[in-house]
Amino acid sequence: MPPRDAAASMVIERDLPITMDDGLILRADVYRPKTDAPVPVIMTLGPYGKGVMYQDHYKAMWDWLIEQHPDLLPGSTRSFMAWETVDPETWVPWGYAVVRVDSRGACRSPGMLDIFSPRETLDYYHAIEWAGTRPWSSGKVGLNGISYYAIKQWHVAQLQPPHLTAMIPWEGAADMYRDWYRHGGILSNKFMEVWYPRQVLQVQHGNPKAPRDHWMNEPAAGPEQLSPEELAANRVDNLTNARAREMDDEWYRNQSPDWSKVNVPFLSAANWAGFGLHPRGNFWRLPMRRRSKSG
């Protein structure tokens, strides 16, 4: 019996343009059911690459995952897996459209790369409203993703996009000073020194050394090829900013959510293995902040 063609069961659209309020265009991949009926949306926006295949770019981690969990995602061929996002082969048959957006300055989306920034959050707002107003959309947009994709959910929720309906932030950080950059006030530089160049800078828009987009058979970082100097000029150096700021200030707070403005329903989930970064946001900081805001 020939292998199942997973793509045949979905409408797949790649590199769709989403125009921001300042005219810059972000790029999105959409996986949706073959139906004329409008469907709800599951969305992520971030810097890891909508076209960077999990099995290729994170091969060691993928191999370990499959060895430990050979029954992972039953019924899926796992052909459309990307880092820390939902599997379209699982969610599309359930009646959802899956939308993956490359954030500003990352992968197929040009612009200034500024992780966790208010500008990136505003882009997410506009992307949600774009997804909520497509002809194939029911107008209900949910967010579901891990780590970076979890943190950005809390950030954009404070802007209260009209079409944002619910979200599941898996393993986030809720206070960027205490949970991400400075644990107990001490600079947490090792994580940034390893994670940022390996997972973000490697797929910065215009990086000629970026992996290829497995599904488009084009560079995952876009057709533009920038020099090291041009790449450096197109990004904000967050670790340098954190080194220069020993105390909590407006820069850290601009990368953390205002909990008084987060009113969308959400499920907060994490596992104990990520205790150095995530559970403080999901299990402790977040409930504490929400209690303090509600009185």
Where exactly are the structural domains of the chain?
Answer: 6-294
> What are 17-33's pLDDT values in tens digits?
999 999 999 999 999 99
d(CA 127, CA 119): 12
- Reply yes or no on whether the pLDDT at 3 is more than 60: no
pLDDT at res. 190: 78
Mean pLDDT score, 282-293: 61
What pLDDT score was predicted for residue 141? 98
Per-residue pLDDT tens for 47-59?
999 999 999 999 9
- Inform me whether the pLDDT recorded for 253 exceeds 90: yes
pLDDT over threshold 90, residue 169:
yes
Query: What is the average pLDDT score of the chain?
Result: 92
CA-based R_g, the chain, Å: 19
CATH topology of domain 6-294: Rossmann fold (3.40.50)
